[in-house]
Amino acid sequence: MKLLVPKQGMLPKIKCNVGPVSWPQGCASAGLIFGLLVCGSSSEPTHAEASDKEGHKEEESCVKLSHGKKVYTDYSITGIPGDGRCLFRSVAHGACLRSGKPAPNESSQRELADDLRAKVADEFIKRREETEWFVEGDFDTYVSHIRKPHVWGGEPELFLASHVLQMPITVYMYDEDAGGLISIAEYGQEYGKENPIRVLYHGFGHYDALQMPRKKSDRSRL
């Protein structure tokens, strides 16, 4: 089932695909995460791959349907440090790959994430008339918090990041019943729908970088 956000201000550009997923507390009814959360995951950088079922061709097993939704089983995950920058790190990592650049190392990834965070905060100011109404609490306080490296922002920051980078961003979650990943939100599709920046949301305030399809030669450099 798809939930289209009401057409108001910047929100028509956000599309949420609502399914059997669990968003953190603080989500608004339209699916936007307005509350500020700290990305406190302690997961170490890892590389994971999904395996295809035996007896099926690879191109047939990488995408299947479950209750009318696409389920992706051919992907690789680049683990992102849980230092409060995971959302911005994941997006910056994906932007490098989409631009044809090498995957950044941990130090470069951190610099790119902090730069992206600063530009997203500036984009809030630039689009104040469009964004102030859906920010919870005082607008200036919200933007001030977003600038801090340990503070994680939700869907508004992902949406504004798509404008800053002028690239589409798609968020996925793992669906245990379906046995693969499903898309739960898309941003910035006015910049194109092919080969979006892909990030994996774990449901506990943590994001990792995601690549589809997986490349068997890929290994995380983090």
3-state SS, residue 12: helix
Among residues 86, 93, 163, 208, which one is catalytic? Answer: 86
DSSP 20: S
> Where do we find the tokens 């695909």?
17
Strand partners, 175: 180
The two beta strands, 76-78 and 197-201, are unpaired
86 is catalytic: yes
27 is catalytic: no
Chain Cα centroid distance, residue 163? 14
Contact 153, 146 (CB under 8 A): yes
47 is catalytic: no
Among residues 47, 52, 83, 122, which one is catalytic? Answer: 83
Residue 13's nearest CA partner among 166, 132, 128, 136 is 166
Among residues 16, 62, 163, 206, which one is catalytic? Answer: 206
The catalytic residues are 83, 86, 206
